[in-house]
Copies of this chain bind each other. A is one copy, B any other.
């Protein structure tokens, strides 16, 4: 792979994003290809969280809600995320978990199409999204799940809501947000996009696509920390016409009037429910400092280039070990991750982790690698591939400790 090593060195030398790596804390010797599961720690986060604990909570106490701006964090963080996903100011809030946010927007969406209680999704959607839809629909509607390539054809007249994840969590396959949203609009279908593997990974253009609703996750590419609060988007024109059935005081027009009747706030704030977990939100807010000034087109270019290089490396030995690319080879159809079907994939991934290359495994046989352009180098990608080749060549994965299943990989 000497030629690929050289290519990596050239790419690193010319990388316009190379300066960003220093803003993250990356354990020595680790090649982290799992920023699509949990992003690494931005260097400014520890001090910000420590300050929120010791000074914000410890000294300001209840006064922190005003003095520290905690009340407005959901909206302020939302506006910072909005810039990264092509949304207008005031159309995104940071709150709750992705699943809870999906339930909220799904309720709002279903209420818009009372005669068409059919939700269309695809098999590439993350299962929790399907579970949320099953829970919300109950016996009153139907969840229709088709293959990713069959979505357009499945938009039949009974479908009321199209609910898709833009980037397939397993294969990295990219759905066509603009095309499918256009078609949905023509057919009177309300659209919900899950940006879990999109936000911070590639340029998203929610407003341009005319998407009705979106949700996403703070802990992957955005590096907001383990279980970081999630976000949701509502198209500005819809905000005052729809609401969720998850109604709580933070979404009230006047939370501190203690009115016994619920009156939704104007705008996106009506999608807030309870009191937000401030320490986790402060970490999310601090993590977004890193994103100020990031050019998402540059992120996309490097992301694809990293993925292409990794594929080129694995191509050299894939057939010898029965690895089959599970992701689109064409970057235009791919998010920021690349996966392979791999025999004994679970054990192979454990052996990789043992050698300091962290990716993850997804049932039944997928080894998955995420590319985070702000803190990965091309050299690391080539080195990771070489370590994988070594593990396969020497069959070091075939040791009992690599077969023991942990609950999360």
Given A135-B262, A227-B70, A274-B128: A61 and B49 within 8 A (CB)? Answer: no
Type the 1/0 row for A18-59, where 1 means its CB is closer than 8 Å to any CB of B: 000000010100101010011011000110011001101111
The CB with the most chain B CB atoms within 10 A, among A25, A40, A50, A247, is that of A247
Task: Identify A363's interface contact among B38, B56, B134, B258, CB under 8 A.
Answer: B258
Binds B, one of A276-284, A308-316, A324-332: A276-284
Given A279-B226, A407-B66: A262 and B131 within 8 A (CB)? Answer: yes
**CB of A284, distance to nearest CB on chain B (Å):** 9
A45–B358 alpha-carbon span in the complex (Å): 30
Q: Are B99 and A65 in contact (CB under 8 A)?
A: no
Asked if A145 is at the interface (CB within 8 A of a chain B CB), the reply is yes
A359–B286 alpha-carbon span in the complex (Å): 31
**CB of A296, distance to nearest CB on chain B (Å):** 24
Given A50-B46, A249-B128, A279-B280: A97 and B225 within 8 A (CB)? Answer: no
Q: Collect the chain B residues with CB atoms within 8 Å of residue A46's CB.
A: 50, 53-54, 58
Asked if A85 is at the interface (CB within 8 A of a chain B CB), the reply is no
Q: Collect the chain B residues with CB atoms within 8 Å of residue A14's CB.
A: none
Task: Identify A226's interface contact among B54, B65, B123, B131, CB under 8 A.
Answer: B65
Write the chain B residue with the least CB distance to A138: B245
Residues of chain A at the chain B interface (Cβ within 8 Å): 25, 27, 30, 32, 34, 37-38, 40-41, 45-46, 49-50, 53-54, 56-59, 61-66, 70-71, 96-100, 103, 123, 126-128, 130-132, 134-136, 138, 145, 217, 219, 225-230, 244-252, 256-262, 273-281, 283, 353, 358, 360, 362-363, 406-409
14 A-B residue pairings within 8 Å (CB atoms): A38-B57, A40-B61, A46-B50, A61-B358, A62-B408, A96-B96, A127-B260, A128-B248, A131-B248, A131-B262, A132-B247, A219-B275, A229-B277, A256-B408
